[in-house]
Structure 1
Amino acid sequence: MSAIRVLLADDHHLVRTGFRVILEAEDDIEVVGEASDGRQAVDLAARQRPDVVLMDVEMPGTDGLEATRRIVAADTGPAVLILTTFDRDDYLFAALQAGASGFLLKNGTPEALIDAVRVVARGDALLAPEITRRVIATFARPGAPTGGRADGARLSELTPREHEVLVLLAGGATNAEIATALFLGEATVKTHVSRVLAKLGLRDRTQAVVYAYEHGVVTPGA
C-alpha cells in the first residue's frame, strides 16, 4: 500500500517541522511538501498532488480558508484538514463551508493528528464529538438557519434506509457504528453513505451533518 502523501501549510517553520517529525515517524505517511502561506499551498497542491493538506488558517497573503476553497475546487483536489490555534466558531464554519474535511486544534495530541490524517485520507470527514456539539448548538439557537427545511425535493429521493443512515451520520456515527445499529455490513453502509451524499449534492460526511440539522432531518436534543 502506498504511503499517504501530506502537504504542510503553516507560516511558522517550527510548527511545520514538528508536524513533519510526528507524521514521518509513521510508516504509512510521507510529507511531500511545505508551504508558508495559502498561495504556496495552492501551487504545491497542484504540483505535488498530495492526499491530504494540513492547513493553518491565519497566514500572510492568501489565508488558509481561501486556499482550502481553491484546493477543494480542483477536480483532483486532496482532502484538507484544518489545524489552528484558534478555537473560534467563525473559523470552524468557514472551514466547513470552504470544503475542509476536518478541523483540529493544534493543542491536540500527536496521536490525534496521525489518526486525523488517516481518516481524511480514506475519504471520511473528521468531525470530533465536541465539534458535532458546536454544529448542533448553532442550529439550536434562535434565528438559526432553517430556510432549507422547505427544500424537500432532494430529501424525498432518499430511500427509508438512506434516511436512517443520514440520521445516524448526523449523530456522528462511524460506518462501523452505523453497520451495528442497522445490522448491515460495513461495505453496504459505505454504499449507502455514498448514495446519500450523491443524492443530496454533498461532498462529505461533515456537510451531511450540517445539512441534516439545517434541513430538520434531526433536531437538537432529539
Structure 2
Amino acid sequence: MSLNSIFQYFVPKDKKFFPLFEQASNNLIDMAKLLKELVNLADVTKRKDLCRKIEDLEHRGDDISHQIHLELGKNFITPFDREDIHTLASSLDDVADFIHGSSNRIELYKLDQITDPMIEMADLILEATEDVAKAVHELRNLKNIRNITDSCVRINSIENKADYIFDKAVGELFEFEKDAIALIKYKEVLSAMETATDKCEDVANVLESILVKNA
C-alpha cells in the first residue's frame, strides 16, 4: 500500500467539501436548464423572469464557492490538494458566471430572434454541466475513476462541438448579417455561450489533475 493510500485511509470522510462541490455542480445543471428554456421561449415577455431565476442561481453558486473557501481556511486536513480545491471551486464558479452572462446578454440586448446556433449551444452547455456533475459526484471515493475520465472526455468533445458551432455561426453573421449592431449583439451572446463550454473543459482539466495526483 502506497504512502498516499495510507494517508487517504486516515482522512476523515465527513468533510464538507464533497457536499459543497456536489451542490455547486447541481446548481450548474439548474442554470443550464433555465438557459435552455430561455432560448426556446416563444414568449419574449417571459424572458426577464427566467433571467432573474438564472441570476439568483448564480448568486447561490457564489455563496457555495465562498463556503468552500471558508472551509479551506478552517480545515487543516483536506480530501485532496488544497490548491486543487481552490481551483475546482473557482472553475465551477466560472461556468456559472458565463451561463449567467449568456442569459444576461440575451435580455440586455433585447434580441428579437433566437438563432439555431444559440439553441444548439444551450443544449451543449446543459450536456457539459451534466457531465461535470457526474464527475464531481464521483470524487467522494475515487473508486470509479473510469466514470470521471469518461465524463471528462465527453466534456472535451462537447467543447470542440461548441467551438465549431461558434466559428460557423460567426462566419455566417459576417457573411449575411447587414446590420452591424445586430451582428455585434449575436456575436457577444454566442461568445458567452461558447466560453461557458470552455469553462466546463477547465473543470474537466482540474478533475483530471486531481486523478493524477491521487491515483
Instruction: Please give the TM-score of this superposition, normalised by the length of structure 1.
Output: 0.26
Larger C-alpha radius of gyration, 1 or 2?
2
Give the helix-richer structure, 1 or 2: 2
Instruction: Please give the TM-score of this superposition, normalised by the length of structure 2.
Output: 0.27
Structure with larger RCO (C-alpha < 8 A, sep 6+) = 2
Give the strand-richer structure, 1 or 2: 1
